[in-house]
Amino acid sequence: MSTAANTATSTTNGTWELVIGLEVHCQLRTRSKIFCGCATSFGEAPNTNTCPVCLGLPGALPVLNAEAVELATRASLALGCTVHEASVFARKNYFYPDLPKGYQISQFDRPLATDGSLVIGTQADGTPRVIRVHRVHMEEDAGKSVHDRFRDVSAIDLNRAGTPLVEIVSEPDIRSGAEAGAYARRMKQILEYAGVSDANMEEGSLRVDVNISIRPSSTSPFGTKTEIKNLNSFSAIERAVEIEFARQCRVLESGGVIEQQTMLYDDKRNEVRPARSKEGSHDYRYFPEPDLPPLRLSAAYIETQRAALPELPEAKRRRFATEYGLGDVEIEQLIVDQTLAAHYELVARASGDARRAANWMLGTVLAAVNASGRSLGEHPVSAERLGALIKLEAAGEVSNTAARQVFGLMEEEGGEPLELAKREGLLQVRDDSALVGWIDEVFAENPAEAARFVGGEKKLQGVLVGLVMKKSRGSADPKKVNQLLGARVG
C-alpha cells in the first residue's frame, strides 16, 4: 500500500509501550466567522476583523453560521463518522488574555459526530492500519497573543477569535511518532479533498495537540498522559513524541511519577517543556450555551452533504490501482493533492498510456514545474499536448531523449510536439545507413575506445551508444544503434 504502511510499528524501548491520541483542530473554509459576519481572511491588520460578538461585548448574541455547519458535517462524513441529528453547544469556561468572553463556545457531551476511522497504511501482515476517530465537534477559535511586536509588553490580536473550527479527536490507538505523523498527513489530505479546509499549517488552519502516555505492556492500564499543544508541522509532531516518550521513560525508571501537564514543544531547541498543569473537563465547568439552541440536522440534510463529497483519497487509491495499474508508491505521489491527481488523469487519457504518463508526471513535469516556480495549473504544456508527445515516444517516433528536448521546446514556445520534432530533426532515425554513418563518426573521433570495444570490452557499448545519441541530437533509434554496435564486435 503506501509508505505510511511502514510506519505502523510500535515505539517501545523494550520496557514501555507508547500510547498516543491526537486532537486535530481544523479551520473550516468559511468566508465569515462561526457566530458573526466578520471575515476570516488571513493576514489582515490586527483587530480589524472583529465585532461585538467576537469581542464578547455585553448583549452581543451569537448566530450560527450555516456554511460552517455544512463543512463540519462533510468533514465528519469524510472520516466515516456518524453525524448526529441533534448536537448541543456548550460554554467551556476558562480565562486567557486572547479569549475576551472568558469562555469558548464548543460542543461537549453531545458532539456533532462520533465513531469514525482513518486508514494510515498497512501493517506487516498486509492488513490496513486503522486509527479510530472518537468524535468531531464544532467550536470557535480564540484570538492570538503577540509577544514580539512591542518591547516588554504583549499585544492581543482578536482577528482569529470566533474563527470556525472542528476538533477531531482520535482514540488512543497510535503507537509511535511515525504513526502520529502518518495520521496527521492522512487527516490533512482528507480534509483538503473534502473541500472543508485549506489545512494550511503555516497559517494555523491545522494544528495538532498530542496526548502521550506510556505503560509497561499492551495489557496494562493507560498511564498518566501529558498533552503537547499546538504542533504545526508533521516533523514537529514526530520529534515531540519521541522526546516526550524518552522523558516519561526516564521519569518512571528513576522512581518518579508523571504529572498530568500541558506541554509546549520548542522547535528551535528541539525540547518539550511544561506549560501548566493539565485541566480536567470538570475544571472547565461546562454548561449548555444559553444563547444557542441545540443544533438539529435532518437525515435528508446529512445525506445531501454526503452526496456532495468528492472522491476521497482512499477511493482514489483503489481506483488508480485498478484503472491504471499503478504501484503503491506512484499512487501516493500522484494523489498527494487533487490538482496533481486530476492533471495526471488528463495526461493518462490523452496519451492512452497510464504508466508512461505517471513516469512523465512524477519526473520531467514536476521537475519543470518546481524549477519554474509556477503552479501545475500555470505550466504552459497542456495535458493534451503532453499526451500527444507521450504517444510519439510510445510509438517510437521520438526517443526518450528527444521527447524531453521537445518537451523543453513546448515549455519555451508552445506548439504541437510532432511539428517541433520535425522542425528540429528529432524524429527517430532507424535508417541503417544514417545510423552507421553516425557510428563511423563516433569511432573516428574516439579511436581508443572504439578499438577496445571491438577488441571485446563490451562495457564500452553504453558509452558509444551515448555518443551516437549525442551526435544525432537524440534522434537515433537506440535499439538499432545497439544492434549495429553489437554486430561490429562479432
Report how far residue 306's alpha carbon sits from residue 310's, in angstroms, rounded to the nearest whole number: 9
Report how far residue 480's alpha carbon sits from residue 458's, in angstroms, rounded to the nearest whole number: 16
Q: Scan for cell 504542533, then name that residue.
A: 231
Q: What is the pLDDT of residue 429?
A: 87
CB 63 within 8 A of CB 292: no
Tens digits of per-residue pLDDT, 121-174?
988 898 999 999 999 999 999 999 888 888 889 999 999 999 999 999 999 999
Report how far residue 126's alpha carbon sits from residue 129's, in angstroms, rounded to the nearest whole number: 9
DSSP 44: P
Sheet containing 89-93: which strands, arranged edge to edge? Answer: 103-107, 89-93, 287-288
Q: What is the pLDDT of residue 278?
A: 64
What is the sign of the dihedral through the CA atoms of 168, 172, 178 and 183? Answer: negative
Report how far residue 161's alpha carbon sits from residue 56's, in angstroms, rounded to the nearest whole number: 10
Q: What is the pLDDT of residue 126?
A: 87
From 164, 163, 209, select the one nearest 183 (Cα to Cα). 209
Helix H or strand E segment including 443: helix 432-445
Q: What is the pLDDT of residue 338?
A: 94
Reported pTM? 0.86
How many angstroms from the chain centroid is the CA of residue 419?
39
Burial, 476: exposed, middle or buried (Cβ in 10 Å; 0-12, 13-18, 19+)? buried
Can you list the residues of the chain whose pLDDT is less than 50? Answer: 1-10
Start-end of H helices in 119-272: 177-194, 234-253
Q: Scan for cell 490586527, then name that residue.
A: 46
Q: What is the pLDDT of residue 46?
A: 94
Report how far residue 28's alpha carbon sits from residue 34's, in angstroms, rounded to the nearest whole number: 9
Report how far residue 368's alpha carbon sits from residue 406's, in angstroms, rounded to the nearest whole number: 13
Neighbour tally for 329: CB within 10 Å = 12
Q: Cα–Cα distances in Å, from 450 out to 442, 464, 487, 488?
A: 8, 8, 13, 10
- The helix/strand/coil state of 84 is coil
Report how far residue 364's alpha carbon sits from residue 271's, in angstroms, rounded to the nearest whole number: 40
Report how far residue 147's alpha carbon sits from residue 195's, in angstroms, rounded to the nearest whole number: 33
Report how far residue 339's alpha carbon sits from residue 342's, in angstroms, rounded to the nearest whole number: 5
Q: What is the pLDDT of residue 252?
A: 94
Q: What is the pLDDT of residue 192?
A: 97
- Grid cell, residue 411, equals 515549455
